[in-house]
Amino acid sequence: MKIVFTGGGTGGHFYPIIAVAQKVNKIIDEDNILGVKLYYLSDDPYDQEILFENGILFEKISAGKVRTYFSVLNFIDVFKTILGTINALYKLFTIYPDVVFGKGGYASFPTIFAAILLRIPVVIHESDSAPGRVNKWAGRFAKKVAVSFKEATEFFPQNTVAWTGHPIRAEIESPVLRDEALKYFKFEANVPVVFILGGSQGAELINNTILSAIPRLVKNYQVIHQTGVKNFKTVKAEADVVLGPIKEKARYVPMAFLNPLSMKMASGVATIIVSRAGSTLFEIASWGIPSILVPFTESNADHSKKNAYTYAHAGGCSVIEESNMTANILCVEIENMLKDKAQYEKMVAAAKAFHKPDAATKIARALLDTALSHEK
């Protein structure tokens, strides 16, 4: 049996693939299914180490973006996509997998298109409340469609779509005990913790707002700030300046990147989370922590804002739009959320209710069932 995974080159596409692959590996071990090979086809491996740890072979396929605005790069990327599709046809014909799992994004198009031409079964997963262009197209041909948001089911054929929830990696799905996390960060037990998530690349608007807000925040809270690798040195240097004379400055902990261990620790100690509104919101929901989401204004088809307000409607978060994101507004929102204990507990319950913990297992089972049917 051979399973091919494909998706765009962001963490929002890549890590759910890893979550599903982990469950595939778990099931084949438990059910003694022999000879299973896993492949990842994309324009970039994203994290070669994680692929290796999960027994996934990487095959490079070129792919081009189709931008919604005029750009000379659109013409270049058309040729990239054509070449990528030809390459994907060759790779898939050579591998000849029993199923292809598509996670969306421009990098998944060549492989999914090649799979359709070769009559290889396709299963896709959509993370957003409204699908991206590739998944919206692929959903017409897919054997099975899994979605993170219930609202996304209306965009796909009702006989193939299922609301599974969002696949989350096993190593970060459950936070550690608070006492252990407090020791890890050397935090005070009676001071609330604000956890800032800017994504692996960081978020400039969030970083700048936090730099303006931290003198006020550290008076009453401890702050874990994930800055992004590229921004870490700059943010840390500026934070050292603005916090220089403040005695509580040790309460501010900037981190470039969070590996699974530090993510579990941060989620174990966090009282409230400030984040973008990508697939991270599902991880936040799995931890049962109230959040403030700052949707990215320029996301494709306004996905980020739709995701944020869908989750807010479910009761798990509040939303601050980019145009309103200032240090004062953020601080007031944090203060109000933590002041109202009854409302805070309602948000905890809403976040937990929003999370569907068996999403990765359901999708893995669907992949294996489809692959086994194709083998016969």
Tokens of 191: 């001071």
Number of domains in the chain: 2
For residue 179, name the pLDDT band (cuts at 50, 70, 90). Answer: very high
Q: Which residues contact 230 (CB under 8 A, 6 or more apart)?
A: 201, 202
Looking at the structure, do residues 122 and 158 belong to the same domain, yes or no? yes
SS3 label, residue 265: helix
Q: Do 225 and 159 sit in the same domain of this protein?
A: no
Band of pLDDT at residue 198, cut at 50, 70 and 90: confident
154-158, 303-307, 314-318: least confident range:
303-307
Please tell me whether residues 126 and 19 are part of one structural domain.
yes
Per DSSP, 145 falls in state E
pLDDT at residue 325 greater than cutoff 60: yes
**One domain, residues 232 and 128:** no
Task: Looking at the structure, tell me whether residues 182 and 216 fall in a common domain.
Answer: yes
Residues 109 and 197 in one domain: no
Residues 6+ apart with CB under 8 A from 18: 50, 54, 169
* Closest to 6 measured CA to CA, from 124, 172, 85, 160: 124
DSSP letter string, 194-241: EEEE--TT--HHHHHHHHHHHHHHHHH-EEEEE--TTTHHHHHHHHHH
Asked if 40 and 6 count as a contact pair (C-beta separation under 8 A), the reply is yes
Helix (H) / strand (E) element for 161: namely strand 161-163
pLDDT band (50, 70, 90) for residue 77: confident
CATH of the domain at 138: 3.40.50.2000
Residue 238 and residue 140 share a domain? no
pLDDT attached to residue 346: 98
Cβ–Cβ contacts within 10 Å for residue 216, how many?
Answer: 17
Spatial CA neighbour of 142 closest among 193, 202, 100: 100
Burial of 79: CB neighbours in 10 Å, binned 0-12, 13-18, 19+ = exposed
**Do 271 and 253 belong together in one domain?**
yes
Percent of the chain past pLDDT 90, that is, above it, reads 85
249 shares its domain with 327 = yes
Binned at pLDDT 50, 70 and 90, residue 71 comes out as: low
Tell me the pLDDT tens digit for each residue of 207-246: 999 999 999 999 999 999 999 989 999 999 999 999 999 9
> 20 and 68 in one domain?
yes
What integer pLDDT is reported at residue 258 of this predicted model? 92
Which residues 6+ apart lie within 8 Å of 261 measured at CB? none
What does the pLDDT read at residue 174? 85
The answer to whether 310 and 129 have CB atoms below 8 angstroms apart is: yes
For 366-376, the pLDDT digits (tens) are: 999 999 998 76
* Nearest C-alpha neighbor of 214 from the set 189, 244, 191: 244
Q: Looking at the structure, do residues 45 and 182 belong to the same domain, yes or no?
A: no
DSSP letters along 310-325, please?
HHHHHTSEEE--GGG-
pLDDT on residue 16 = 97
Domain that residue 43 falls in: 2-166+357-375
The runs of H, that is alpha helices, within the chain are: 11-30, 48-53, 72-95, 109-117, 133-138, 170-173, 178-185, 204-220, 232-242, 260-269, 280-287, 303-314, 327-339, 341-354, 359-375
Kindly state the average pLDDT of the residues 328-347: 98
- In the block, tokens 């978020």 appear at 203
Tokens encoding 72: 């000379």
> Who has greater pLDDT, 105 or 333?
333
Q: Are residues 367 and 343 in the same domain?
A: no
